[in-house]
Structure 1
């Protein structure tokens, strides 16, 4: 069926009905056109919606249409509802505040995008003779109250089962007492088909323990820090409330809610007196523990379940090794991605923030693109980034969508401007997708965004040719910084920013050349050369020392290949390894340096130091949170202190994926899989064994098929098995320096030099 033209209007209920109204439209099929051949519903909303046809949900998605840059892009979803329409049919819609009207950010503000909820939808029914009947949202629709009396993404949802109107979305329901609807302003040019997948119920987790806290409160431990909500069936006295509070951790045996800041993360359920089913789908929480008050009767592990909610993504990459702590770290990284990839890549899913911070995804994109197929997910978010950027004269905001532009900032806060690594998401994320999937579409779509950002930053350079002025996040959350001064890093902010710009200009030049923009390619190559020359002149001493002489600056200089000679690179590698050893293999890097330090060590011949850095268990380290029972990656290395108390910093999350970007090295360095050509049409297989891990298995479902690498050390000898898809060429590099080129099939190799190489002998 050719898509029918839009006839719909954005409608809003005449009464707000506690911010969760129901909308309904009952109609009959037109006669004389034969059987229904196809029926398609297209729907979107100001707020979030759940659509039903005659009482049956039209899809598996929840929290649709999600959060986009509503000012320029309001996504709609399409549903095949052919099997649901009948002679008499009801199109029903539940609305909620969602991101459009609910609280956003930590300023306590709501209604950032508008004050009225709305629904925009159209059901097109094609009959056997080709006739199309369209049922569109208009003022003939009716509005009524739902059982939800409170709904907010941060604060939670209240459902009063006494208010349930059975059959409200089915034919024959008496809606005589319902209110009307009216149209609200809406620019149809903003309508956009989603590029990414919907948010769905992705699984369930059962409780592992129910126990009493020291103060006698009932706590449920689900054994996994997850994102979603609880659901259950229950029967109890009419009007009796059950309250559920959520948190990620316990402190002193009680629910640790301080990291939530102002987010209440509380759901309340009021019983009807009969059997009730509760599922609060107009909110979500980041939690491992739930505190339950008012449960009638005995609460058992079979009484309830946690529903895991995130965008529908296909798992593509796996990793496992002989070290169970590293395996748990990898599982934590996967769960951190799942919790924060809920319609857009957020920093955290639990407190009064949950924003699409650009810096986090800038460094995590390669890891994400290995673990899951995030092509559509991130391309959709990048379209919002480009829209926000274009409206801000080329400035890439620090969060996308940019809710912060509507929030008051302290007078001493600097005016918004491009920020290294954060604004770099406009260039680094598209490039990561290109490398992972080999599809030029993302580079074509984002080219204007990429070049606009790079040119803007060029205009911010000082007379020295360095990006050394203005506010920078820098090596955010350096573990040596004061808990309340996360920006106070060892790494010089100008060094970090300038080397980031060098990488950005180089990628932009490569992108221009790929797309046939030769003049742009030469321009950005020259910019990269100028930035490199300024970096070397002002930041690299004659002996090779880089200003601020800390691990992050050497890691970035090596990883971004800004050093011009083998001598410079060798010195940087030796100095990096020396600093890592001097710090007893405790992590000394923040957001900027952490994703790249193990790779920089390995690439300069210091794989033993990379392994020891990875395997260190003291705080700060990647494995310290694992030894403390973490099931996701923390925002701070010491979000929980060794004594079991929560970090005193005002900003503390137990589900932040950024520091989990080390998984990129687990996959490429230990696992040994990296692309030699975009989309893995040609693959490099080069696992680097090291002390503390005896075997590793890694796999990746590429656009060309699955690549699998398994290696094992036995008495110093390496056995390597490689599976390559048909039509793909793989360059295999053994630790002793032997090279092989193989094509599709499974191949085995052995090397007696593995242990000597990994030990630096």
Structure 2
């Protein structure tokens, strides 16, 4: 390792970068480029010394995540002139990064490139960017120039190029989209017989790639790009299967803990927490948010637990234990006299498609029900973690808290299996988190299936309910309903965006309307991974590959075919080696091929067959 340390003996000076901004873009004047500073000898004109600025280094946390790197390059798939005369380029994939421009032109001429995810009325659709300009400006030197704006990034599929004087073919040769992201190893894959589902899964992967750029952001294109905790709570199980995110999210969790330690145990809505500055500026005008924001705050427990289950390294629980414990104690402190989470505005089942477009928190699901269910799951996770780490007193405390929450949930929200507000999300959470007794669980499952059927098998859940609804239907014996929900193509559904040409997951179920216009709401993006959490059900139920013990030391191979699929497969590089499952239906026969790593074992559950236990190696089963 080589360490290059700076001090006041160094020199500094101007560069060819005139301006750079995460949201607005970068401006480069190639005429100002002077590389003599890269060689020993005389400094370029205008350079001067440096000075040290006092800073408390104890405020910094160690960086343990992977670096951000260029991942791949993509050429334009088409370039054309729009109805208004704009020159537009399509890279065929909604991606995150920048455009490299290579050309020779007249000194002083300027090329401007603006980026957007979609087209509207055959023009660049920039309204979803809000105030972000997402624009790069290049001034030519008269020599061969290669412009690459590495001090910004954009979320885009399309680009508008202004100032180009050559032919469209020449422009196509000059433009290259550079895809960036944190350097993560791809470990999990999925495929099946349905092309639409394969495209949906690809969209999930691309949304994760574009938003895992040093921080797990909500979106990569508009004037936001923040590490929203609720988005990650919804998606973390999917993320930890698709890529090795252990160090990436360990680093983010350290930031979460640091923010939490300065906020009386409260977990921020975004990490790093820039909203606290905005809320302070609002003063008395700030909304009365709940002291514990369920789903969002629950990232303190849900994310490290997911990493433990995915990779089997208890270090992550040891690292985050104080944060987890502080959070559930904060939950206990703010419960109402009824032992429910009832105070303040909850975001709850955010972006339920039935909510008003300008009030995405006004979901069908009662926010108190959603909130209490979510913190119950955190309390049970904290209790399990305490047991693993042999914190016996804490385990007793957190088990008692979980018991109080469960008792209160059933006493105040459940009547004979019917859950208050009678919305799909509340049933999904109650079933998935084991909040109900056996009889109530059965009734809740039947009611959930009824509601899904009444909706015409379209989506009626938001951030809280969507990750769990398919699993809840499956758990209660309604596999067919879960498949019909997955395979629905009418809006709102997972496959509706696919039929509209989406190559990433949308923020709203109808970010683009059927007529090709952009959702009129102020808040909509075309690259948000949260609703991509359905991929976990695709991995675990459709393909049939799931962990029985942390790190896949024991594996569950349990495909549940349906929906007219004739085959499906999933593979994963576990800490113990590669595991995979592939099933195929021929007539009335189901054939399953499974790979179990050496040193691991698997439980095999096939339809109409007895449970089997197998060790490492390749196996073939028939049902």
Does structure 1 residue 142 correspond to structure 2 residue 11? yes
Residues 674/469 of structure 1: CA separation in 2 closer, same or farther (3 Å cut): same
Determine which of 407, 416, 427 is the counterpart of 1:533.
407
Separation in 2, partners of 1:735, 1:204: 44
SS in 2 for 1:718: strand
Does structure 1 residue 563 correspond to structure 2 residue 432? no
SS in 2 for 1:302: helix
Determine which of 27, 40, 60 is the counterpart of 2:2.
40
**What is residue 546 of structure 2 aligned with on the other side?**
674
Q: CA deviation at 1:501?
A: 1.2
Question: More relative contact order in 1 or in 2 (CA 8 Å, sep 6+)?
Answer: 2
Residues 492/192 of structure 1: CA separation in 2 closer, same or farther (3 Å cut): closer
Does structure 1 residue 641 correspond to structure 2 residue 513? yes
Contact 2:108/2:140, CA 8 A, preserved across alignment: yes
Determine which of 299, 308, 318 is the counterpart of 2:179.
308
What is the CA deviation profile of residues 41-91 of structure 1, one whole-angstrom value per residue up to 9, with x for unaligned ones? 2xxxxxxxxxxxxxxxxxxxxxxxxxxxxxxxxxxxxxxxxxxxxxxxxxx
**What is residue 218 of structure 1 aligned with on the other side?**
87
Determine which of 385, 400, 405 is the counterpart of 2:256.
385
SS in 2 for 1:570: helix
Residues 686/415 of structure 1: CA separation in 2 closer, same or farther (3 Å cut): closer
Does structure 1 residue 477 correspond to structure 2 residue 351? yes
Q: CA deviation at 1:697?
A: 1.0
Range with bigger deviation, 291-300 or 649-658: 291-300
Contact 1:397/1:416, CA 8 A, preserved across alignment: no
**What is residue 444 of structure 1 aligned with on the other side?**
318
Separation in 2, partners of 1:479, 1:386: 33
Does structure 1 residue 738 correspond to structure 2 residue 595? no
SS in 2 for 1:309: strand
**What is residue 236 of structure 1 aligned with on the other side?**
105
SS in 1 for 2:398: helix
Contact 2:36/2:43, CA 8 A, preserved across alignment: no
Contact 1:397/1:418, CA 8 A, preserved across alignment: no
Does structure 1 residue 423 correspond to structure 2 residue 297? yes
Does structure 1 residue 198 correspond to structure 2 residue 67? yes
Q: CA deviation at 1:313?
A: 0.1
Q: CA deviation at 1:173?
A: 3.9
What is the CA deviation profile of residues 142-164 of structure 1, one whole-angstrom value per residue up to 9, with x for unaligned ones? 11100010100100000000000
Separation in 1, partners of 2:250, 2:604: 32
Contact 1:615/1:692, CA 8 A, preserved across alignment: no
Contact 2:101/2:146, CA 8 A, preserved across alignment: yes
CA RMSD of aligned residues (A): 1.1
Q: CA deviation at 1:416?
A: 6.7
Does structure 1 residue 582 correspond to structure 2 residue 486? no
**What is residue 108 of structure 1 aligned with on the other side?**
none
Separation in 2, partners of 1:672, 1:409: 49
Separation in 2, partners of 1:437, 1:745: 20
What is the CA deviation profile of residues 513-549 of structure 1, one whole-angstrom value per residue up to 9, with x for unaligned ones? 00000111111111111110000000001x2110000
What is the CA deviation profile of residues 684-734 of structure 1, one whole-angstrom value per residue up to 9, with x for unaligned ones? 110110023110010010000011100011113211010111111000000
Does structure 1 residue 182 correspond to structure 2 residue 56? no
1:40-79 → structure 2 map (5 Å cutoff): 40-41=2-3
**What is residue 544 of structure 1 aligned with on the other side?**
417
How many residue pairs are counted as aligned between the two chains? 618
Separation in 2, partners of 1:151, 1:409: 28
**What is residue 596 of structure 1 aligned with on the other side?**
468
**What is residue 36 of structure 1 aligned with on the other side?**
none
Separation in 1, partners of 2:161, 2:508: 28
Separation in 2, partners of 1:175, 1:635: 48
Range with bigger deviation, 473-482 or 295-304: 295-304
**What is residue 46 of structure 1 aligned with on the other side?**
none
Q: CA deviation at 1:412?
A: 4.8
1:503-518 → structure 2 map (5 Å cutoff): 503-518=377-392
Determine which of 593, 596, 601 is the counterpart of 1:724.
596
TM-score after normalising by structure 1: 0.80
What is the CA deviation profile of residues 19-46 of structure 1, one whole-angstrom value per residue up to 9, with x for unaligned ones? xxxxxxxxxxxxxxxxxxxx612xxxxx
Determine which of 384, 389, 394 is the counterpart of 2:265.
394
Contact 2:97/2:177, CA 8 A, preserved across alignment: yes
Q: CA deviation at 1:190?
A: 3.9
Range with bigger deviation, 421-430 or 406-415: 406-415
Unpaired runs of 5+ residues, structure 2, are none
Separation in 2, partners of 1:600, 1:197: 35
Q: CA deviation at 1:191?
A: 4.8
Residues 412/280 of structure 1: CA separation in 2 closer, same or farther (3 Å cut): closer
Determine which of 518, 522, 532 is the counterpart of 1:650.
522
SS in 2 for 1:409: helix
Determine which of 157, 164, 182 is the counterpart of 1:288.
157
What is the CA deviation profile of residues 173-222 of structure 1, one whole-angstrom value per residue up to 9, with x for unaligned ones? 43463122111012233454421100000111111010111101010000
Determine which of 676, 690, 707 is the counterpart of 2:562.
690
**What is residue 758 of structure 1 aligned with on the other side?**
none
Separation in 1, partners of 2:323, 2:196: 40
Unpaired runs of 5+ residues, structure 1, are 1-38, 42-122, 124-135, 752-761
TM-score after normalising by structure 2: 0.98
Separation in 2, partners of 1:640, 1:224: 16
Determine which of 235, 257, 276 is the counterpart of 1:364.
235
SS in 2 for 1:40: coil
Q: CA deviation at 1:737?
A: 4.2
1:74-153 → structure 2 map (5 Å cutoff): 123=4, 136-153=5-22
Separation in 1, partners of 2:480, 2:54: 62
Separation in 1, partners of 2:238, 2:265: 27
Separation in 1, partners of 2:461, 2:61: 40
Does structure 1 residue 355 correspond to structure 2 residue 226? yes
SS in 2 for 1:456: helix
SS in 1 for 2:442: helix
